[in-house]
Chains A and B, each alone.
Chain A
Amino acid sequence: MVGIFVRLKLRLLANGLQDTARLVGFAVGAGLTVAVTPVATIGWLRLREQPELAADVGVVVFTAVALAWIILPLGLFGTDDTLDPARFAALPLRPRTLITGLYVGAFVGLAPLATTAVLAGSVFGLSAGPGSTVIALFALALEVALCVAVSRALASALSGMLRSRRGRDLAVLVGVLIGGSGQLVMLGTAYMSGSVDLMHSAASVLRWAPPGMAARAAPDAAAGHYLVAIAGLAGAALAVTLLLWWWGRSLTGAMVTTDASTSRAARPTGRRVGLHRWQPGGRAGAVAVRELRYNWREPRRRSAWVAAVLFGGIGPFLLLRQDGAGTGGVYVVCLTAGIVGLQAANQLGIDGPATWIHVATWRDPRDIRADFAGRNLALAMIGAPILLLIAVALASIAGSAGSALGPFALACAVLGIAFGVGNVASALAPFPVPESTTNVFSGGNTGQGCLAGVVVIGSLACTGLLSLPLVVGPVLARLDRPVLAVSAFLGGIGYGLVVAWLGRYLAGAMVYGRQPELLGLLTRREAG
C-alpha cells in the first residue's frame, strides 16, 4: 500500500514538471540544494575537530531546521499537498493505512531531500568512531522524520481551527505560534552566530526538545554514554509517533466534517453596517469590495493574513529590543510591509477558476488594470492600518510615538512597491491554489515543483531591490536636513505609487494578450 502512495506521489510530481514554469521552479530549488550542500558538509566536517562545539551546534541546527519546517510552509510557501488527503476519503482505507501512506509519500519531494542533504554531514561531524556513526545515522533519519511529521501534523490541526467559525478568534493564537517560532529561529541564529557561550546555553535547553535529543545522541555515544544516546533516539522516535497520532486524529476529523463556518447566511443587505455598506462605484470599487469580503470570509486568505501579520509583525519588536538603535529601529516596519505586500504576488491564482467571470467582462487592458487597482486597494485598506499600528507601537517602545511617521511613510512606499512587483508576478506566473478541505495552508505546490516558492522569493527580492532608493529619506533625516528629508519621504511615497501604477500598467498589457492561456492555467488543476 505504501508503495502505491510513493509511486502516486512520484507520478504527480513528474507530471507537474511537464509545465515549464514549474520545471524552472524545481530547477531553482534543486540548484540551491546542490550549491548549499557542499558548504554545509564542509562546515560539519570541520566541527569534528571540536566535539564540544559540535554537540552544541548540532542541537541548535537540528532545532532550527525543525522549526523552519514548521514556519516556512505555514508562513510563506504553503505545505506540499500533492497527496491531498481529501481525495482518498472515498476509498476504503483505514486511518492507519492512510496516514502511513501519506506520511511516507511526504518524504518524496525536494524539501525532504534538501534537508537530508544539508544535514548529511552531521553523521560525520557529530560522531567519533563506528558506534556513534551508526547512532548519528539514526539521528539524521529521525530528524528528517520529525521535520516532515511536525509540518504535516501542525498544518492539519491548524487548518481544522482556521476553517471553523471559532477559528477566527483562534487565528490570532495560531499566528502568534507561527510568527513567534519564526522569530525565535531568526533571532536565535543572529544571537548565536556571534557567541559560543550563548550557543552553549541555548543548546543546554534545546537538547531536551526532540530535535535536540536526536542531535545529542551521537556526541553522547562518542563519549561512551550509549544508554543516554539510545534514550535520546527513543525520545525523538516517540515524538514522531505522537505527531503522527495527532495528525491522524485531526485528519480523520477533517475528512468527515464540513466547513461549518460558511453555512450561515450572509447578513441581509438592508441591515448592513459600517464597511459592509461601503460600495464605491466603478469596476475597481466593485473588485475592492469583493476582495475585502473574501479576505474576511475565505479561510485561505484569513490564514495568509494571520501568517503575514505575525510573521512580519512580531519580528520587528524583537529586533528593536535587540538592536537598541533607538528610534531608527522603527524602520524595520518596512520589512513587515514587504511581507504583507507578498499577498499581491498571486492575485489571479488565488481566484482560481472563478477568474473566468472577470475574463468574460474584460473589454480592454484598462478593465484589467482596474481589477488590479481594486485588489491593491483592498490589500492596502487592510495592510496600511496594520502597518500604522505596528509603527506606532514600535515607536512608543523606542521612546517617542512621533517617530513613527517617517517609518510608516516608508512602509507605505514599500507596500506600493510590493504591489507593483506583485501585479507583474501575478500576470507573469499565476499558479492556482486549490482549495483543500483538509489543509488551508496548502500552497500552490500540488505537483508544481517549487513555483510558489520561486514566485514568493523572487517577489521579495525584487521588492527589496526596488526599495533601496527609499534609504535616502532616513539618511537625510539623520544628517539633520529636515526640509530635504521631508521631501525625500514624500518623494518615496510618490515613488511607491509610481511603481504600483507601473506594475499595474504592465500587468494589464501582459494579461490582456494571454487571457485564454491564463484561464487555461488557472482552470487546469480543477479538472483533476
Chain B
Amino acid sequence: MTTANGSSQPTTGAGPGGLAVRVRGLWKRFGAQVAVAGINLDVPAGRFCGLVGPNGAGKTTALSMITGLLRPDAGTIEVIGRPTWPDPAAVKAEIGILPEGLRLFERLSGLELLGYVGRLRRLPAAEVDRRAEQLLAVFDLGSAANKLVVDYSTGMRKKLGLAAALLHNPRALFLDEPFEGVDPISASVIRDVLTRYTRSGSTVVFSSHVMELVERLCDWVAVMHRGQIVAQGPLESVRAGLPLEEAFLSIVGAGDRGGDGLTWLGSSSG
C-alpha cells in the first residue's frame, strides 16, 4: 500500500493525467481540538475518489477547506490548478459542492431551486431551464419538480442537491456523504450519474464512512483518521488484497472493542 503519494507524480493541471486536487500541509484547529492535522492529498483528474474514515476523522473539515467554504489555518490547496486560498472565487466557479447537512432553500420547489442556483451562477435563463428539466428527469424527480423542497425526503434532497451541484457542468465535484440516509434506488441513480460524469474526464471526490460503498465505487481512495491521511492512492494498492474495512482497521491499529463494559445491556441481564 502507498502511504504517501501515488507512484507517478503528475504535475498540477487540468488535463487528463494532471491533478484535480493538490493539498499540502493543511491544518485546521477549532480551539484546542485539531480537526485536520497537516494533510497532504493528491487526486488525479478524472478519478472517482473516496475520502473515507470514521465519523470525526476530519473529512467534512477537509472538504470544506478544499471547496473554499472554510478558511484553513495553514497549508496550500490547489483545485484544477488554481489556488483555493486566499480567494476561493475562481475555484468555486469551476466546482460543484454538496455540503454536509444539505441545507437548501426549503421553500422553493425543486424546479425553482435549480432555476435559482443556475441564475446565481449566471447561466443563460433558457439554458438553466433546459438543464434543470433534464436533471430532474434523470434523477427521477420530475413528478416532484413543483413540490417544495421542505417536503422532500432525504434521498430526494440529496438528488436535488447533486443536480444543483452539476447544473453548471463543473470540472470537479465535491460531495460530503452523498449516500447517507439515501434509499437503495436513489443511491443507484446517484451512482450511475456520477460514474457517467467521471467517464468524461471530470473528477468526483466524495466522503463516506461506509467502506463497502467506497470500495465498490471508487478507483482512488484516501483514508482519514484523527485528522490525518493515513493512506492514499489507487484502491487496489491501498487495500492490498484485503477488504477495505480490514485494511483500514489494520492501518489505524484498532483492536476488537466488543463492549466489555456494557454488561447491563440486553434483555437477559438482570
Contacts and interface: CB of A to CB of B under 8 A. Distances in A.
B69 A358 contact: no
Interface string B145-156: 011101100000
Interface in B208-256: none
B107 interface: yes
B132 to A, nearest CB: 10
Interface in A173-192: none
A268 B90 CA distance: 36
Contacts of A353: 101, 103
Nearest to B106: A354
Nearest to B67: A360
A336 interface: no
Nearest to B148: A262
Interface string A359-379: 111111000000000000000
A520 B70 contact: yes
Contacts of B101: 353, 523, 526
Contacts of B93: 363
Contacts of B120: 283, 286-287, 357-358, 361
Interface stretch (A20-28, A198-206, A293-301, A420-428): A293-301
Interface in A496-525: 515-517, 519-520, 523
A351 B103 CA distance: 10
A322 interface: no
Contacts of A361: 92, 117, 120-121
Given A265-B147, A279-B125, A360 B105 contact: no
Contact of B109 (A265, A359, A516, A519): A265
Interface in B56-84: 67-71
B111 interface: yes
B69 A293 contact: no
A356 interface: yes
Given A281-B125, A357-B117, A516 B69 contact: yes
A268 B103 contact: no
B260 to A, nearest CB: 29
B97 interface: yes
Contacts of A293: 107-108, 112
A266 B109 contact: yes
B199 interface: no
A282 B106 CA distance: 22
Interface of A: 259, 262-263, 265-269, 279, 281-283, 285-287, 289-290, 293-294, 297-298, 351-354, 356-364, 515-517, 519-520, 523, 526
Given A357-B104, A516-B71, A266 B148 contact: yes
A305 to B, nearest CB: 15
5 contacts: A279-B125, A286-B115, A289-B116, A354-B104, A516-B70
A201 B108 CA distance: 53
Nearest to A358: B120
Nearest to B143: A265
A362 B147 contact: no
A360 B67 CA distance: 9
A360 B148 contact: no
A364 B71 contact: no
Nearest to A263: B151
Contacts of B103: 352-354, 356, 523, 526
B107 A297 contact: yes
Given A266-B148, A267-B146, A286-B120, 12 more contacts: A262-B150, A262-B151, A266-B112, A266-B146, A286-B119, A290-B108, A357-B117, A361-B117, A361-B120, A515-B88, A517-B71, A523-B101
A269 B107 contact: no
Contacts of B122: 283
Contact of A360 (B69, B116, B125): B69
Contacts of A285: 119
B99 interface: yes
Contacts of B89: 362-364
A294 B97 CA distance: 24
B146 A269 contact: yes
The 8 closest A-B pairs by CB, nearest first: A286-B119, A353-B103, A266-B109, A516-B71, A361-B120, A297-B107, A363-B89, A354-B103
Contacts of A282: 119
